[in-house]
Structure 1
Amino acid sequence: MVLRVLELFSGMGGMHCALDLSGREYEIIAAIDINPTANLVYASNFPEVSIINRSIETIPLKQWEKWSADLWTMSPPCQPFTRQGKQEDLNDRRTDGFVHLMKNILSQLNSKPKYILLENVFGFQNSDAHQLLLHTLQSNHYSYEQYLLSPIQFGIPNSRLRYYLIAKQQDQLNTNASVLQTRISNFDRLLTKLHEQFPSKCGGSYDKNSLHRNDQITDQCSHSSEILIDSNQSMLINDFLVSNENSEFELDDKQLKRGLHVCDIITCHAKRSFCFTKSYGKYFEGTGSLFRTETDRIRYFTPKEIANLHCFPQGYHFPEEITNRQAYALLGNSLNVFVIGVLLENLFERC
């Protein structure tokens, strides 16, 4: 059976890529987002998909009935819940679409989706929006599981802790649904596919002391939970690079003087990197790691390299009219495709 999917708050299409990774037969019946830049990138990579540039709260119930989707995927705006923001939660108008989904669509829909997958920032689990989500799912007979997961747990050298929920409509609720899990199983098949997509690039000269410093995957990546793989399965930053040197992205002397003392600088043999935010390339502190090349130049990671670390497929691209600043902003709000793929695997087979 072909899975009918609605991609809500679709962004640059990470959920779509995760569905491709899962190998499940599916059809995206619509991708909905109000960000025109994200929609442009999405359309460039998936021209066959119907993209709706419209606020979710303006879409009438009859249209949702007509869509009759089997799966909803969603990454609602995270700004109301981030530590850097005002944390206005449901008082933030950017939650209006999510609230409308919970109160006016899911609760009233006759053709409810069988599956739901939601992703948001760490901190969402402490919000009123989270309580609304759980109450709505329980009232509409969904069993669900909740997770706090980071790519680094699977040996992907990037720390990006996120809240995830997978839900399936059924008669009985999961009695452990309220527990936030930091472990997940059933990912070996996708891990093999990931290593095929980004094969190891061994070789080249390096400082063994530097390699040892970078070998401690969790030491400098706060919020990283237990590593779920054998250490020999861990991947290196080098596996995700387009090239070691890239003069276009090197920091000039003024930037080096301003940023070096607050930046995290890693080499190609690192097994970790800090979370990349939408302000990467604009600010230094807390926005993501910098890269030290083999010739000791310091540069930014390119948008394509960050997309690689987010496990977007090799063929994924940014159109020429998208600036680096715009690409960084989209990536900062995006998700890790591999982690979503693992969650889909578990949703379809266990939840």
Structure 2
Amino acid sequence: MKFVDLFSGAGGLSFGLEQAGLQPLLGVELDKHASATYRENFSHPCLNEDIFSVSGADIVEAAGAKPDLLAGGPPCQGFSTIGKRNREDDRNNLVGEFIRIAGEIKPRFVLIENVLGLKDMNFVEEITKALEDIGYKTNNYVFTSADYGVPQLRRRVVFVGSLDGLTFIKPNPIFAPSKYVSVNDAIGDLPEILPSEKKYEYTQPPFTDYQKKMRGDMYELTGHEASKHNSELVKAISFIPNGGNRQSIPDELQPNSGFHNSYSRLNSKEPAVTVTQNMSKPSGTRCIHPFQNRGLTPREGARLQSFPDSFKFKGTGTAQRIQIANAVPPLLAKAIGEALLSPSSWTIEET
């Protein structure tokens, strides 16, 4: 099954689908840093273009062949439960661009991934109808990333459509909640560092299967750099226990900004909450390291997204954090890809 990845970002979806056995032909991504990351990690091309200016014919030409699958995760800010969830947000029109290109290329299958907020806003029916209008039998499912080996409770809605009238069946979870990969299972082997510090070498061997899988045969450590925090902030968060929150900070050290779930530590024994682009800021949503007095490094965020250590991110620290946070977790994409290739994952309705 050959595929093209629209809105490819850094390549989390492409990486997972390729690991499952699908053949990537092309990525399409507007952001220059994300497209540079994509090119760094894949041997096939990535168009650094605005989707509004690209036609289906352009994509087939750049890909070198018509894809069997058109996949992608249109930018989700307009749908996100973190944002204002504005139905009129121009970014929501990007889903329409995906559907336009699908109609022009007519691949056998389509796959759209997006945030759960889309489902809350009743866009599901609209997207399903739009795909059915161009010939795709479509259904959708909500996926919890931790069910498929990702050390994170990120939930996403995934649409799968078929021109053949086939109905896609969601793959069964691989991990029960009692067996979820925890934060410490994922990042506990990475070197301890202070705010503003960086390290390029591992200081201990991996001690879980997940760490071994993520590290592979890497010897050089990239992206393990902590953001700068002032001494008052470091002192304040030092009072927060593993898995705790800002309620443990003394009144005289309480930060003036943030929300109820700001200034909270990850629980080392559980999967992480959804990793966001503010992963390095203690004022972000539960992103303080379980034991160290700082926010997460890009490499720790990438581990929690299930990117292997060999996957290198390009651009500034801010650009890397955005790419990591916006990505489809590769292990989730791999599980979906394996299901796409399995005949038992498809049924056809009798008429």
Report which stretch shifted further, 68-77 or 339-348: 339-348
Residue 54 of structure 1 aligns with which residue? 49
Structure 1 pair 156/77, CA: closer, same or farther in 2 (3 Å)? closer
Give the superposed CA RMSD: 2.7
Report which stretch shifted further, 275-284 or 69-78: 275-284
Q: Is the 8 A contact 1:158 1:275 kept in 2?
A: yes
Q: 2:233 aligns with which of 255, 270, 273?
A: 255
Residue 302 of structure 1 aligns with which residue? 297
Residue 29 of structure 2 aligns with which residue? 33
Q: Is the 8 A contact 1:292 1:299 kept in 2?
A: no
Pairing of 1:210-249 with structure 2 (within 5 A): 228-229=175-176, 231=178, 233-241=179-187, 242-247=189-194, 248=197, 249=226
Residue 151 of structure 1 aligns with which residue? 145
Structure 1 pair 33/253, CA: closer, same or farther in 2 (3 Å)? same
Structure 1 pair 106/156, CA: closer, same or farther in 2 (3 Å)? closer
Structure 1 pair 112/92, CA: closer, same or farther in 2 (3 Å)? same
Q: Is the 8 A contact 1:18 1:337 kept in 2?
A: yes
* Unaligned residue ranges in structure 2 (runs of 5+): 198-225, 241-245, 247-261, 347-351
Aligned partner letter, 1:312 = F
Alpha-carbon distance in 2 for matches of 1:100, 1:149: 24
Structure 1 pair 266/100, CA: closer, same or farther in 2 (3 Å)? closer
Residue 14 of structure 1 aligns with which residue? 12
Structure 1 pair 101/234, CA: closer, same or farther in 2 (3 Å)? closer
Q: Give me the TM-score of the superposition, normalised by structure 2.
A: 0.73
Structure 1 pair 331/165, CA: closer, same or farther in 2 (3 Å)? same
State the SS of the aligned residue for 2:289: strand
Alpha-carbon distance in 1 for matches of 2:298, 2:310: 13
Deviations 1:86-117 (A, max 9, x none): 3222x322233331332x4333x3x5111222
State the SS of the aligned residue for 1:117: strand
Structure 1 pair 64/52, CA: closer, same or farther in 2 (3 Å)? closer
Structure 1 pair 160/61, CA: closer, same or farther in 2 (3 Å)? closer
State the SS of the aligned residue for 2:2: strand
Matched, 1:346 2:339: yes
Report the Cα offset of residue 239 of structure 1: 2.9
Q: 1:99 aligns with which of 93, 96, 101?
A: 96
Q: 1:44 aligns with which of 26, 40, 63?
A: 40
Structure 1 pair 310/19, CA: closer, same or farther in 2 (3 Å)? same
Aligned partner letter, 1:310 = Q
Aligned partner letter, 2:185 = D
Residue 78 of structure 1 aligns with which residue? 76
Matched, 1:275 2:274: yes
Q: Kindly, what percent of the aligned residue pairs are identical?
A: 21
Structure 1 pair 266/95, CA: closer, same or farther in 2 (3 Å)? closer
Aligned partner letter, 1:169 = L
Report the Cα offset of residue 17 of structure 1: 1.0
Aligned partner letter, 2:190 = S
Aligned pair count? Answer: 287
